[in-house]
Structure formats: structure tokens, C-alpha cells
Amino acid sequence: MSKRDGIGAGTRLVAAGRREEWTQGIVNPPVWRASTILYDSIADMRATGGDTHHRLYYGRRGTPTQWALADALTELEPGAEGTFLYCSGVAAIAAALLSVLSPGDELLLVDSAYEPTRAMARGLLARFGITTRFYDPLVGAGIAELIGDKTRAILMESPGSLTFEVQDVPAIVDAAKARGVTTLIDNTWATPLFFPAIAAGVDLSILACTKYVVGHSDVMMGSVTAGPGHFAKLRQTSFELGQVAAPDDCWLGSRGLRTMAVRLKHHEQSALEIARWLADRNEVGAVLHPALPSCPGHKIFVRDFKGSSGLFAFVLNGADEASRAAFIDALDLFGIGYSWGGFESLATPADPHRALDTPDHGGAIVRLQIGLEDTADLIADIEQALDAFRAVRG
């Protein structure tokens, strides 16, 4: 029991990873760039031995700049063993999966998974003899019936990409543990602040740090945080893959992390206000925001999550491609572009790809990332874009 157990998320974010020997008193861990590290003698070179964790060895094994951010992310997940950083969220997903899967194994993948994750299953994993079976995001304890002799891993994402179904992670973890199956989660939407995945029993928790950790739409980065017994394999696989996140990017990641709790609180309040405003409009069908009862899995969200972030979707009633495009094109304060989690608002079309039945939402879906602008301005912008939508839809 350390005296820092039980401290709040904001406090944890400020202190995390800032070891004196790495910062030398500089508040934000500085940039240590390196490829070659020089040794005093051959004896000194040999003394490093096999274990290079938190020891200067060669640039690919990192410097204090990377270690400080990795350690900070570990500290955000109570019970976690360690974190490895990657050059993107997708690279993090690939390394996490390759650290647990071998030829002949089967992966159970949630059917609401992020499209590049699905592409990885169809491409890379299939090419190496790993099969994938998709499961319904609302399967809950029913996952037990899908676990077969070859099932080695379950990759969850909660809420799901584009349609925001909330999964019963504790029930899936229980079923997996009973059969010795490794569990992974893409926790990018909630972050460890709103859903501490390792404490919930998940083995590997993945973040696209590109989103809320960096928070300013200017760096690509990913992380995998491992629960007890899973870090050594993750690190080994990542070294074998030659993975290393750049020190300059990690420095920006550490800088972004310090304000993540404050930003998330603002994203949360603004997104909730806008989601509720949309729910009252007759141009709008279901609002797919986990904190609203219209979102599948809402009750699980209330039970398991400490908060909601700034990304959600909604159905434009009767919208087709053209009328949805008219709505998005008419928005002035929302950018049109991939990614999310930055300070600026974004709007994109959301067209879920499904292996199982695709639910009919009664119109095309729009995904919004609510940034740090004033909500009154964003709502006024959406209101005028709804006028443009009605003009095209009729």
C-alpha cells in the first residue's frame, strides 16, 4: 500500500511517470533522443545482460522520454504490470494480438470493432493461419458458448466503433478466464479514467493515444497496457517486431496526458448536452451515446463506467447518402476528417461494416466528435445544418 493509492485521476495524471532520475527536475519529462548509447568499456557493455527494462542500451529499447510516458499510462490502470508504446493505435492492436495468437488459433472479435482491426483479422491474421469469428456486442455471458478448443483470445471494444454498443466486459472476462482465454480491449473511447480495464480483469488494454492522450490532433501513437503475467510476452513480441515510438512524439504525449482529465470532463459535458438536444429533434432518430437510454448496452454503461467521452453518433431520420452529405457539408464549426479526441469538433458519416446482422437504423448515421468549443455555438451550427438536411431530404 503506497501513500498514493486511492488518489484521484487528476492528481495521478499530474504526477505519473515523472521520476526524478529521468526528469532531473524538469517538470515535463524532456526529450532524450538516441540511437547509439556509449559504454565505458566492454565489461560495462556486457553488464546490461538480457534485461534492458528502464536501462539505456540502444535507442530502439527507448530512453527516459518513452519510459516516462509508458510508466504514466501503467499508473493510470490499477493492477497493471507495464505498458509498451507504438507509432499508432493500429500498430498497438497488431502487437497485442501477435503477442497472444499463433497459427491455428482462433480470435473472437466483437462485430462492432474498428474497421482497421477487422481488416487486420481478414488480412495479416488470416495470412498467418489465425481464424476470426465475430460475436454480437451484446452477447454478454453468452460468449461462453462461442469459446471453442482453438479460441485463444477475445478482442473487445466498448463502446463499439460507429454504433457505440456497450459490452458486458466483466461477464466476458469471467467466461474467458474459466477457459484460459486471453482478453484484450480497445479502450480508446473511455480511457482508463472512465473504464479501468485491467482492474476489471482484462489482460491487455489498448489505447489509440492519437486520440485523448495526445489530445491535440498532431501526433500518431498507440499503447498497450498489460495486466499481471502479460507484460513480458508483449514486450518480447514488440521488440521482435522492431516497435519503437519516437521520443519527440512521446514528449508530446506526456504533455497532452497532464490535461487529459480536464479535457475529458469538458468533452463529456458538451457531448452530453448536444446529444440530449439532438434527442429532442424530430429529424433525429436514435442517439447512439452510451449515457443515453437509446444506446444499446446503456444499463451496462451505467453499471461499469465512471464517465463518457466526446464521441457519439446519431441517426438522421430518412437520410440517404445525399441528404446526410448535405447536413455534414452545411456544418461550419465541425471539420470533416478522420480521427477524434482533439480539441476541435468533427463530423463524419458512419457506415458500420458487419459480419452478423446489421441493424436497420431507419436512416444514415452521423458521428460527431465534440471538441472544446462553446456548446451554444455548436448547437446553433447543427441547427442550421439540420435546415439544409431537410431541404434536401424533403
Ligand X SMILES: *Cc1c(COP(=O)(O)O)cnc(C)c1O
Residue 310 as a binder of ligand X (CB under 6 A): the answer is no
Q: Is 220 in the site for ligand X (CB under 6 A)?
A: yes
- 114 vs 312 by CB, closer to ligand X: 114
Asked if residues 142 and 95 have their Cβ atoms less than 8 Å apart, the reply is: no
Among the listed residues 4, 33, 60, 306, the single catalytic one is: 60
249 touching ligand X, by CB under 6 A: no
Is 132 an interacting residue with respect to ligand X (CB under 6 A)?
no
306: annotated active-site residue: no
Q: Of the two residues 88 and 269, which places its CB atom closer to ligand X in the complex?
A: 88
From the candidates 105, 186, 203, 381, which is the catalytic residue? 186
Nearer to ligand X, 292 or 346 (CB): 346
Integer angstrom CA distances of residue 335 from 103, 343, 370, 382: 42, 11, 11, 12
360 exposure class (CB count in 10 Å sphere: 0-12, 13-18, 19+): exposed
Among residues 57, 86, 114, 135, which one is catalytic? Answer: 114
Q: Is 62 in the site for ligand X (CB under 6 A)?
A: no
Is 174 labeled as catalytic in the residue annotation?
no
Asked if 96 interacts with ligand X (CB under 6 A), we say no
**Is the link from the previous residue into 116 a cis peptide, with omega within 30 of 0?**
no
**60 catalytic residue (yes or no):** yes
Residue whose CB is less far from ligand X, 113 or 284: 113
Q: Does 77 bind ligand X (CB under 6 A)?
A: no
Tell me, residue by residue from 167 to 206, as one string, x for binding to ligand X by CB under 6 A and - for no binding.
Answer: -------------------x-x------------------
Can residue 105 be called a binding residue for ligand X (CB under 6 A)?
Answer: no
Q: Which is nearer to ligand X, 294 or 339 (CB)?
A: 339
For ligand X, which residue of 151, 158, 161, 237 counts as binding (CB under 6 A)?
A: 161
- Residues near ligand X (CB under 6 A) are 88-90, 114, 157, 161, 186, 188, 208, 210, 220, 222, 339
**Where in the sequence numbering do the catalytic residues fall?**
60, 114, 186, 211
